[in-house]
Amino acid sequence: MNYRQPVGKIKETLLSTLDRVFGVSLENATDEQCYKAVALTVRDLMAAGRSEYMANAEKTHTKQVYYLCMEFLLGRSLKNNLFNLGIEEDFRKALAELGLKLDCLYEQEPDAGLGNGGLGRLAACFMDALATQGYPATGYSLRYEYGIFRQKLVDGWQTELPDFWLPGGKIWMQAIPEKSVEVHFNGHIEEYWNNQYHVVNHKDYTKVTAVPYDMYIAGMDGRGISRLRVWAASSAEFDMNLFNSGNYMRAMEQNAMAEVITKVLYPEDNHLEGKSLRLSQQYFLVSATIQDIIRRHLFKYSTLDNLPDLVAIHLNDTHPVLAIPEMMRVMLDECGYGWDAAWDIVTRTIAYTNHTVMKEALECWGVELFQSRLPRIYQIVEEINRRFCAQMHEKGVDGYKVGRMAPLNDGYVKMANLAVVSSHSVNGVSQLHSDILKNTVFHDFYTEMPERFTNVTNGIAHRRWLNQANPGLAGLITGLIGDSYIHDAAQLQKLGRFADDASVLGQMAKVKRENKLRLAEYIKKENCMEVDPDSIFDVQVKRMHEYKRQHMNALHILSVYQWLRENPNAEFTPHTYIFGAKAAPGYYFAKQMIRFIVDLGNTINSDPRVNQKMKVIYLEDYRVTLAELLTPAADLSEQISLAGTEASGTSNMKFMINGAVTIGTLDGANVEIHDAVGDDNILLFGMTAAEVDALKPNYDPRTYFNASPAMKQAVEELNTGFCGVKFNDIADSLLNHDPYMVLADFDSYAKAQKKAETLYGDAKNWQRMCLMNTANAGRFAADRAIREYAENIWHAQPLPEDAAEKETPLKRARLGRKSK
């Protein structure tokens, strides 16, 4: 489909939309109404493109990919879709002729409140890559009314506020009420068994309606359009008898209890109600999704026998693993399949990605809650468990080992075990992570079914994180090596030949400084703080969590502050330390870490002895749009998790492609970044995963505390505190527990920081390091990751080129060809 239109046609469409939808003329329209008119125009283009794209996919029987994830961290949609469709400049020109600025309209759009962290951003990047490479794909998630939360720091303490994103964000969504489905909770089972194990009556259940809303994500040059279908919960029916009898509150309560399912992403679960709500959210997502997938397939083919040949269902982490028993339920109870036939289809269709190396983070549900909320699903899980255990015993597997592998054991439904038992493929998201899964987390499974395990290292949508977020650097790169890297990120390697070109390095330095000035303006506006653009911008942005060790970074900053207080005239490379992160609402220690960083920053920033040399900035309400501003401005990328705890990371890849130098441990994808750039272009410190495992049984943090005067002084000052607040909890944790070995790695980290200062002082060598990071970032593109999933896990092929328009006008222009 050709998405380009004459400028006059674009203007005509926008004016018509303002009049037809909003009832205003251009002269009376607000910027928000103009933004929505542009969004509707682009959405309609993508809807038409998606329809044509999927018609070709069905015509050619191209395998479809369904990607299930509890979150998709999309950020803003307007700029991404205009850029990928190749029509951004057309709209910019049309709007300018109407007296409007496209960049001002971009600012009217809120970040979509559909995600939280790296898991959701990965899913969003994958939607882009799937569309760009022509794989027909649909993502499935929930339409969270208030997102996760909007972060507000009050005296350094994180306060959670509702994220009212839908008024500006829902313009991208098309409601499809005719595709709504019912999801059933509670009730009881009346069983009438036969030899096929599938005849049941499910009585007295609660019905909730799942209403689908579709969003579209354009691939580069519009070759493909991915769809994200998000489900909103509403009451299946209004009880007029209750209402008419005067029981008004009860009648309304039923509706409210249904709709609460899609109010908030990741509700706090440190109480029974929260656990029940999380379980309900997960089942609501998978039940609606599986019904939708099967209904669509049956409408086209009238059988599910060929489902594994034409459909790949991918579970992104454990949250959607209930798709497995739900799919069994539909096939057994509604489609008439016997157990063995249904199980064969399910296991050949579903694949699973694990995203954690920490056993304590693997999701489990208490049997009592699970059975009461999902009685039929529990019954199916019981049967999966019984059959799996019997199979293992028949093979002569040790009973204790079978117990560790069982999906149902010790009073819990173990979701990761259920996923491994029921999927044809299990992958980690970096080579180190996958090795840890095989050697520890899923070692029992690996010894019995090694063929099931593989690795796909994560990747990022490099077009968004380089071309869109950093147009200055992208323009420089295009001028040097051409634009083939836009479709093939591996072409960035061609930059390597400019590693010793002083002119190119100088141009890169100029682009970086412009990006730092842009971020400095934002910091001045939002934090009322002047920062030095010539200082090292040392950045750590990600979820606030002990294992990511933001408190180690802050403890080092405190030690530097102490040294500068005592040596105010000492030579010191100016630093601006920048943090951004949200803590889970119920995670008290992480909130304490935020307060420590904020209060330490306030103390340093107001101390005239040091504040010309160092500043600490905490950016509130970290989100995709802020990351797009921050990532291109970073000099130093903090990736400092304890080795063996981070599955992969993706912020490390985003910083890398934007020319930041990684300071980090050999953890997650840092291992592969090190392989890509070599020893000279990364700053490594700390223990390896093997060294961590060896030390952990006998680890005594006080040994390291007593051996390091600088660290000892910093930890002791935590008990004195800052801004009238003492941080005894953090000090006590470090001295008595230190679960993530901050004290063991501290001195090594301090040395790496000192080395970074020295390297930064040699401008040419530093810029060479930055260039080599960008040049070697191509392997971390989401396009590469998706090809590996498609070839090795989904066994899927892109839509054949001859089934659709082979080249868009934009692509022809780039290739220097004449229009047809």
Active site residues: 355, 542-543, 548, 650, 654
Q: Greatest CA separation found in the chain?
A: 86
Closest C-alpha among 694, 633, 678 to residue 769: 678
DSSP state of 725: B
Cβ-proximal residues to 402 (8 Å cutoff; 6+ apart), any chain: 389, 392, 393
pLDDT band at 235 (very low <50, low <70, confident <90, very high): confident
Contacts of 82 (CB under 8 A, 6+ apart): 42, 88, 91
Closest CA to 539 of 453, 455, 633: 633
Chain segment 470-529, per-residue pLDDT in tens = 999 999 999 999 999 999 999 999 999 999 999 999 999 999 999 999 999 999 999 999
Three-class secondary structure of residue 178 per DSSP: helix
With beta carbons less than 8 A apart as the criterion, state whether 566 and 128 touch.
no
741 to 54, 545, 640, 691: CA distances (angstroms): 51, 14, 11, 11
pLDDT single digits (tens) 77-125: 999 999 999 999 999 999 999 999 999 999 999 999 999 999 999 999 9
Residue 810: band (very low, low, confident or very high) from pLDDT cuts 50, 70, 90:
very low
For residues 326 and 187, give the distance between their C-alpha atoms in angstroms, rounded to a whole number: 16
Which tokens in the block code for residue 238? 């209004």
Q: What is the pLDDT of residues 699-725, one digit of tens each?
A: 999 999 999 999 999 999 999 999 999
Report the candidate in 624, 620, 658, 643 with the shortest Cα–Cα distance to residue 552.
643
So what's the pLDDT on residue 819? 35
pTM for the complete prediction?
0.95
Across the range 730-749, mean pLDDT stands at: 98
Q: Are strands 350-353 and 225-235 parallel, antiparallel or unpaired?
A: unpaired
pLDDT of residue 361: 75
Reply yes or no on whether the pLDDT at 179 is more than 50: yes
> Identity (one letter) of the amino acid at 66?
Y
What was the pLDDT predicted at 815?
A: 38
- Whether the per-residue pLDDT at 816 is higher than 50: the answer is no
Write down the mean pLDDT value for the chain.
Answer: 94
223: pLDDT strictly greater than 70: yes
Q: Minimum mean pLDDT among 256-265, 274-283, 637-646: which range?
A: 256-265
What are the CA-CA distances from residue 665 to residues 676, 696, 749 (Å)? 15, 17, 9
**Domains (ranges, CATH) in the chain?**
7-383+427-433 (3.40.50.2000), 477-787 (3.40.50.2000)
**What share of the chain has pLDDT > 90, as a percent?**
90
Question: 609 versus 191: which is more confidently predicted?
Answer: 609
Q: What confidence tens digit (pLDDT) does each residue in 146-155 have?
A: 999 999 999 9
Provide the token pair at 681.
């272009």
Residues 6+ apart with CB under 8 A from 516: 533, 537, 633
Query: What long-range pairs does 388-396 form, CB within 8 A, spacing at least 24?
Result: 388/421, 392/448, 395/448
Q: What's the Cα-to-Cα distance from 546 to each of 71, 590, 594, 812, rounded to whole Å?
A: 22, 7, 11, 50
Q: State the Rg of the chain over Cα.
A: 27
347-379 pLDDT tens trace: 999 999 999 988 777 899 999 999 999 999 999
Q: Output the CA–CA distances (angstroms, integers) from residue 534 to 113, 311, 563, 673, in the order listed.
A: 35, 53, 22, 26
Q: Where are the beta strands (DSSP E) in 109-169?
A: 137-142, 150-154, 157-161
Residue carrying the six token digits 């492609």: 657
Residue 658 has pLDDT above 90, yes or no: yes
Considering Cα of 263, then 268, then 274, then 278, what sign does the dihedral take? Answer: positive
> Residue 321: pLDDT above 50?
yes
The residue-averaged pLDDT of 304-314 equals: 98
- Measured CA to CA, the distance from residue 358 to residue 380 in angstroms comes to 27
Question: pLDDT band at 250, cuts 50/70/90?
Answer: low
pLDDT at 86: 96
**313 contacts 424 by C-beta, under 8 angstroms:** no
Give tens-digit pLDDT for 779-804. 999 999 999 999 999 999 999 877 65
Taken as a whole, the chain contains a residue count of 820
Instruction: Please compute the mean of the pLDDT values over residues 160-180 and round it to a whole number.
Output: 97
Q: What is the pLDDT of residues 675-702, one digit of tens each?
A: 999 999 999 999 999 999 999 999 999 9
